[in-house]
Every structure is written in structure tokens, then in C-alpha cells.
Structure 1
């Protein structure tokens, strides 16, 4: 086997799913299946023994579920893991927790159980495997972070906005930043995380439970309120429009930008037109360059840009693009970003 062949371990309790995944992956000249496991526990054992480059991990399994398996693999043999999730709310919640604990990405099982429905997303699965194989396993290990919870020293003007863009590895960085934004910042926060429908709602619900600010999935035509975090819903760009001295959201289903929807560039662009210099934006971990064009526009109007440093990124792609273009005012690990946001407000 040559060094550039991606070694894949399949972990799934469904014989049908194992067959479909095996069929898709085996046809690729740059991939090889090195093992198949039927339970989470067997998956952990084979991950340690076989040292695959990438693991596909079912969510619901006997002995250990996907989340428990992810936690053990990250402790014993850190490996890029792609969760294979159904559309149920329970699966989406477990998947999000797995992403916060080291899994790098996920793919949705299509509705229905015939094999051609899963083969319809074969290209997406293969792209995610190839992307995951590029991730340094050392970046998956979650260390104890010296997070400083900022204090609000004076009444803020309340006319600013905070924008955050994130993709691969984003849930973990958001989990570090959003809960550490204190109540009383007196501004809205808008988050664009690349995720499909259902998962953005679960992400909002999870963050809301552990944050001082209210966190919700954004809806169409709702007024932005201070001390509220709005998560762009999957499959829609999130735009902002001004009406008098109020700002409202709107959902847009136009073409993907940077091959994603929601796209941070869309939201950053619309926000810059309204808030001008009164923007603090953070571009977090993720593949690609989404957020870079939007950061340019924010900089043009005098807003401030924070890029997550390579130290805490799972994938140093989106922030790297912002840094290399010279748009970043600050380059910080995720555990220092909440404090810097409050300082800049």
C-alpha cells in the first residue's frame, strides 16, 4: 500500500450500511478499507490496532454509541472521525456532542433505506474522507484551556454587532467562545456555521443551555435583539436588512457561495452595509476561504477582524485565508476570543 492511500475504518452496526459504505469507498483508487467494526467497542479496539487515517462512525450502536466511541478514540488513538448520522433530533444532538469531543465532520443518511439513496451522496462522503485525511490528529486532542471570562466594565453603546464564521471544527470553538460571552454585552451576535438543516437548530439549543446569552436558530424577518445569538439555519444564507433604526434578519435560498449555504461572506457583506465600522467579526476553524471576502468588506468600513490561530484550529483554512490577505487585526487561540470581542465592543 502506498503512503498516499487513505486507510479507512468503517464502524456501523447495520449490515446494509456497512455494505454501502464499503462499496463506495472500495471503488476509490486512493482509499483502502483496513477494517470493519459492528459495535462502538469493536470500533475503538480496531482504531487502536489498525491506525486508520479516517474512521466513519455510526451514531447509535450497541455496547458503545458513536459519541462514547469518539471520546475513547480521542483519548487512546486520536483519529479524524466522520459521523454517519440519521435525521432524527437525537442523532443530531449526539453528532454535535461528538463534534465538540473531536469528530471532525458528519454526513447525513438520506431518508429511506434503499442503497441508491445513500449512493446519491457518495461524492460528498468521499470529499469529506479526503478532507479528513489531511487533518493532523494532534489538532483533535482537546486540552484544558485557560479561558478568561470577560467582565463588562461599563455600559456599552449597543449599536454594534458581533459576527462569527466557522466550519470544520467550528462546534468545538463555538463551545469555547459563546458560553464565555457575558450577559450585558448589549449587542446581537450572528453565527454562520456550515451545517445542514436540523443540525443548526440542535447546535443553537446546545449552546443556549450553557450560555448566559440567549442562543437560537435565526428565523425569517425577526428583529435583532441585544444579548441574543442567532445561528444561521442550514440551507439558507442569513441576510440583514435595516428598517429605520431596527435591523431584521431574512433567509435567502439563492445559489451557494464558496460551495456552501449558509455562507459567511453573504452575511458579512449585508452586515457591513448596515453597521459600517461597528462590527467585530471572528473567523474560526474551517476548510476553504468562506469569510475572507466578507472580512475585506468589513475592513473597508473600519470594522475589526479576529482570526482563530492555528494553535486551536482543527483546520487552519478559513482563518488562514483572512490572515494571508492581511485582514486580521488579531490572531488568537479560541480561548482568548471571547475576551477580545468584549474588549473591542
Structure 2
């Protein structure tokens, strides 16, 4: 059965170009196009597509407003297209809050090293999100927990393919908090990709301001996006969140987001560890790469790490998680049901590395229970 796609963009050239690319995949069928958000809402109701691709800036009605309305009336997986600018990043994050599942840059060459690879990634993203149920939009005013109130942002504190079903070896899915292990920790490390911005927000907003450990975050994301994303998280979370800079000292209750397009590594010793931000090897598929950050964490902190692999396409994080587990670290994975794409967590679970498979709404609370008590 083909996946029916509605393409929404005010540029007739982009609509035609995107439609041609999608139609090259025998599993994808472009059933219609729309030139603005109002048309998108009407055609979503009448045509009931499986996926909608959506531009952000359009006349009559912008893409963010259209996504909000579509999620109210005819919930449909939405893939946003964005410019790689600071304003484009902020708008894209608003669209994800509104209910969009994923995003890609409008310049396809920015997502891959060749035209063929870019086309393949685009088609793969559309196929992947078509299989997921749309989620409710994230409310910016909803309390993050029953005991922690949203913190007022303080900007001056910092400068600036669908996967198979889970294998039998995967840990069982849970609907209750795992029993506290009693282990001693010194670091929380989280890696994610497709669907990660919303997942990270859900997890990090559950951590209290007095969280006793530093947090390192790796999200596959362009460089212009990580700056805006870190600032957004910092305004929503009780802990401090910043885009990592070379030389940053790891401090308790602070989270450091790896900058897009570069690699983040840890060096030093527990209690006096710092970050190195490097350009890295062009042969590495991901910049930033979860495996690289996790591996460096294993060298510094050994088994005193809780590593969490959230939603994402591919298998980044599996090898780094294996190195951590060999040192005695705890590895958790997001469960299939709550992932936008069950790729990275499945890779960890299928390899027998993850000790827990948890639904997204429980992960933040489970981290606090395990690491804070």
C-alpha cells in the first residue's frame, strides 16, 4: 500500500521539485499540493493524506498555524521544511511544539554529502513518520510536573528506514518506574535524532533544579538549530541548558547540548571534566555523533553513567552504549510505542545492551528516581 502525501509550499517550483523526488519512490504517492496553510487544512480534511510536508513561511496562513489546526481537526504526521537560519530554527521548534513530527532543511544538499543520498534520506523520513500516530501538541504553559514549577528564563547566565519489530532479546516495555538500582552516578548522557527535540523537552523538564549531576545531550541537528534549541530548553527547564562550547567545565544541574556540525567529547576526570568541541572526521556519518560522546564518557566516568537512547533513525549510540555497559554503566532505551522512529533505541535493545525499555512519559521521572532518589 502506498503512502499518500500532501505537499504544502507557496513556491510552485519547490512543490514540483519535492513531488518529483517523492514520486520516485514506489511506496510514495503525491496526491495533491497546496500553496498555503489554509489550503492545507482544507485538503487535509477532504483528502486524508498519510503524511503532509509543510513549509513554514507562507501567505494567507503560515505553516505553524496550519499544523496546530490540522492536529485539532485531522491529526496527520507532518514533516516541516525550514531554512537553516536562526529565525528558521526558532520557527521550526515552534512547529514541532505545534505537533509536527520532524523537519528537514529546504536545501536538500544540506542533509547529505550527495544528491542521491539526500533524496534517499528525504524519502526515508517520509516513510518513517507515516507509520507513527500524531501526538498531541506540546503546551508551553503546562506545568512540567506536579512539584516543579516552570523557571523564569535567565538569558544572562550563559553566553550565547522503517524498522522491524523489536527482537526477542529486547528488554520488556514498562508502564511503571523501574526499581531503583542503588548505583552511584556522576553523569547523565542522552542521545537522540528524529523526534528528539520533543522527546528531550519531555525528559529534561522533569529534572529538578538541584539535579546533582551534569548532563550531556547529543541531538542530530544542524548547527544553526542547536543554538536556538538550547536556548529554548533553558527557558523551559529547571536545570540550566546551553549549547556546549570548547572548554566548558561540567557542572551539576547543567545540561550541555552538542553543537550541530561538530563533535563533542569529554576529557579530564570525574569532578573536573571538561568538554572538547571538535570538527571531527568527515567520514563519520553524524555530526554530532552519539557514539563519539558516549565513548568519551566511558573513558572518563566508567560505570558511573546513566545513558539514555531516545527516538531516532539509524543505530548511532549503539557502539558507544556498548562501551559504557562494558564499564558497568546503565543503559536505557525509549520504547517502540512512544518513538517517532524506533531505530536508535531498537539498535541498543536488539543488541542486548539496554536494561530498560521505557515509554517517553516515564523517562524523566525514572531518571530522577534512579539518580536523585
Give the TM-score normalised by the residue count of structure 2: 0.81
Q: Does 1:48 align with 2:42?
A: no
Aligned Cα root-mean-square deviation (Å): 3.0
Report the equivalent of 1:93.
90
Equivalent residue in structure 2 for 1:181, among 207, 232, 240: 207
Report Cα offsets for 1:32-75 as digits up to 9, x if no partner: 32111111010121122223233221111123211121222223
Report the equivalent of 2:275.
249
SS in 1 for 2:212: coil
Equivalent residue in structure 1 for 2:264, among 238, 255, 258: 238
Report the equivalent of 2:136.
142
Distance 1:309 1:32, change over 3 A: closer
Give the TM-score normalised by the residue count of structure 1: 0.87
The number of residues matched between the two structures is 334
Report Cα offsets for 1:120-175 as digits up to 9, x if no partner: 75742542333322335553223899975688xxxxx9960100011111111111
Report the equivalent of 1:309.
335
Report the equivalent of 1:154.
none
SS in 1 for 2:319: helix
Following superposition, the deviation at residue 220 of structure 1 comes to 1.3
Report the equivalent of 2:99.
102
Which moved further from structure 2: 165-174 or 24-33? 24-33
Is there any run of 5+ residues in structure 1 with no aligned partner, and where? Answer: 152-156
Matches for 1:153-192 after TM superposition, within 5 Å: 160-192=186-218
Partners of 1:109 and 1:118 within 8 A in 2: no
Equivalent residue in structure 2 for 1:290, among 307, 313, 316: 316
Report Cα offsets for 1:206-248 as digits up to 9, x if no partner: 1111111111111112211221111111111111111685111
Which moved further from structure 2: 69-78 or 19-28? 19-28
Distance 1:53 1:127, change over 3 A: farther
Report the equivalent of 2:79.
82
Q: Does 1:21 align with 2:18?
A: yes
SS in 2 for 1:72: helix
Q: Does 1:32 align with 2:29?
A: yes
SS in 2 for 1:246: coil
Distance 1:131 1:43, change over 3 A: same
Asked which structure has the greater RCO (Cα within 8 Å, sep 6+), the reply is 2
